[in-house]
Every structure is written in C-alpha cells, then in structure tokens.
C-alpha cells in the first residue's frame, strides 16, 4: 500500500484522526473539532514553536479540524481547503461562527471601525480571505461585528475568476516567502494555489503535489514552441506559469519576488543551477 503523505495525513506516533483508525498506527485516535481561522492570515508550521519553518498559511474564514492542543498555545490540525497538516497558534482560531458570504478579491483590503475610509483601520485582509457580511450600505459591506469593508474589494462566495494567469499577474512584485500565500509574501506553489483557487479550481499546496494532480502532461518541441498561456512548467521543487509564448510568471528566490521572465532565460538559468524540467502540464480549458 502506498504510504500516507505526512503533509496531508493527520497522524503522529502518539495521535491520529479517528478516521485513520486501522490504517495508521498511533497510541490513540481522536475525532477532532472544527475551528475557524479568525486572524487575517496565520502561519501553519511543522513544529509548535514560532521559529519553526513556515509550511503554509491559513487565511481568515478557513476551517481547520483540530486534533490536539498543547499548553504553549499551539493547535495541531488539518486545513479543510487543501488538507495540509501542522501547528497553528490557538489565538488565531475560534469555534465556527457564521458561514462566510464573501471573499476578498483585492490584493489587500482594510476593515474600518465605521463607514469612513478616513478612520484608522482595524485590520488588513489578504486576497482570498473569507468573511460574513450582514448588510451593505452605499459603498461599504458591514460585518456582524460592525466592521466596514470596501464593497469593491469583495465578491460573493461561489463567484469565480476566469483567468488564473491574470490573477497570478496581479502579484508581480510581491516578495518571495517560503510557505507564504499573500501579497506580503508567497512562494511558487502558493502563487499557483492562490490563482487557481480564485478560479474555483482545487489545487494542492506543494509543487510536487501539483505536478501529480493538475492537468495532463504534454510534449512540446525542443524549442518549446507548443507552449500555451496557462501551461505549467515543473522542476524538482519549483513551478512556473506560462504567461504567453515568450514569458512565464513565477515566485522565485532568484528575484526574491513574483516576476515575469523570458521562458528560455528562466529555463537556462534554472538548468545552470542543476535542475531540468520534470514535466509540462496543461489544464483543461474553461468555457
């Protein structure tokens, strides 16, 4: 039997999800409780300490099934959206409240304490964050807690963008951050996940998972003349999105940013660093 991927399997030697009973070995099995992310974004780490490497980020409104809490203020659980498992600060979680009705479609928006944008904002929410809106008044959406968000920065849950490449393009210039997935910093697979999610396309978190799950492999000529907008190029540990026949877009540590780059130049540079293309995959075209 194929081994479980620990990144998306809520199992440790001492504890596992009850649904995994009989499939993985653990000292005990628990049902888990669903929580909601209440921070604008919060780190998910592989270990329960603030200096542990960032695995990914969870955004406002996401659901998390928590299986364990420790005395230092960390919760161990699994994100509902992509199944990633890790430790989050318990202060960033709360029992589920109202179901989100809207999502943020601006790269960043502010929540104001009143109807005027001249007021000092209470917090900033990233692209993809979800929140419940109780009512709208003029140009503002109002949360049940009486937070005011510019209506133009929101869209109803269930509405989707059509061009994920255009979504990725909005992030050009955002700094590179391993494990990040907001305008404050994101990595190559985070950029792809954010862009596809905005278009209603389910996407795993890491590039190796994406290479396995997304689209179908394609063969192109030696000169890469068969590439189309939206094709995905994979290397070991990296993914880039074809922008047009001449360029691609990717979050990368060379530029330390999300950047557009000539396709041939990027391939040659990455090859010089010791990595060859592992596959090129094409997603189904949306109508």
Q: Residues 207-256: pLDDT tens digits?
A: 999 999 999 999 877 667 789 999 999 999 999 999 999 999 999 999 99
* Parallel, antiparallel or unpaired: strands 16-17 and 29-30: parallel
| d(C-alpha 246, C-alpha 233), whole Å | 13
pLDDT recorded at residue 1: 39
Closest to 124 (Cα-Cα) out of 101, 153, 102: 153
| Phi/psi at 159 (5° precision) | -95, 145
pLDDT recorded at residue 14: 97
| d(C-alpha 90, C-alpha 242), whole Å | 39
The CA radius of gyration of the chain, in Å to the nearest whole number, is 20
| d(C-alpha 39, C-alpha 232), whole Å | 32
And the tokens for 172?
Answer: 């050009």
| d(C-alpha 102, C-alpha 65), whole Å | 22
And the tokens for 135?
Answer: 């009512």
pLDDT recorded at residue 287: 54
pLDDT recorded at residue 285: 78
Residues of the chain below pLDDT 50 = 1
């Amino acid at each position: 039997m194929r081994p479980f991927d620990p990144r998306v399997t809520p199992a440790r030697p001492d504890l596992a999800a009850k649904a995994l009973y009989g499939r993985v070995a653990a000292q005990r099995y628990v049902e888990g409780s669903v929580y909601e992310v209440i921070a604008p974004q919060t780190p998910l780490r592989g270990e329960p300490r603030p200096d542990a490497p960032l695995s990914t980020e969870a955004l406002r409104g996401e659901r998390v099934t928590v299986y364990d809490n420790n005395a230092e203020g960390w919760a161990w659980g699994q994100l509902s959206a992509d199944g990633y498992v890790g430790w989050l600060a318990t202060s960033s979680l709360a029992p589920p409240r109202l179901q989100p009705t809207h999502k943020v479609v601006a790269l960043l928006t502010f929540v104001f304490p009143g109807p005027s944008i001249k007021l000092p904002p209470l917090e900033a929410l990233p692209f993809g964050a979800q929140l419940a809106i109780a009512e709208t008044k003029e140009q503002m959406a109002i949360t049940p807690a009486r937070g005011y968000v510019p209506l133009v920065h929101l869209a109803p849950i269930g509405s989707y963008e059509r061009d994920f490449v255009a979504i990725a393009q909005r992030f050009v210039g955002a700094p590179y951050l391993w494990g990040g997935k907001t305008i404050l910093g994101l990595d190559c697979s985070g950029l792809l996940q954010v862009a596809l999610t905005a278009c209603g396309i389910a996407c795993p978190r890491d590039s190796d998972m994406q290479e396995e799950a997304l689209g179908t492999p394609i063969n192109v000529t030696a000169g890469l003349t068969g590439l189309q907008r939206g094709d995905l190029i994979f290397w070991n540990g990296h993914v880039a999105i074809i922008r047009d026949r001449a360029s691609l877009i990717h979050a990368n540590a060379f530029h330390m940013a999300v950047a557009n780059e000539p396709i041939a130049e990027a391939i040659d540079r990455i090859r010089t660093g010791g990595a060859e293309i592992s596959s090129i995959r094409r997603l189904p075209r949306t109508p």
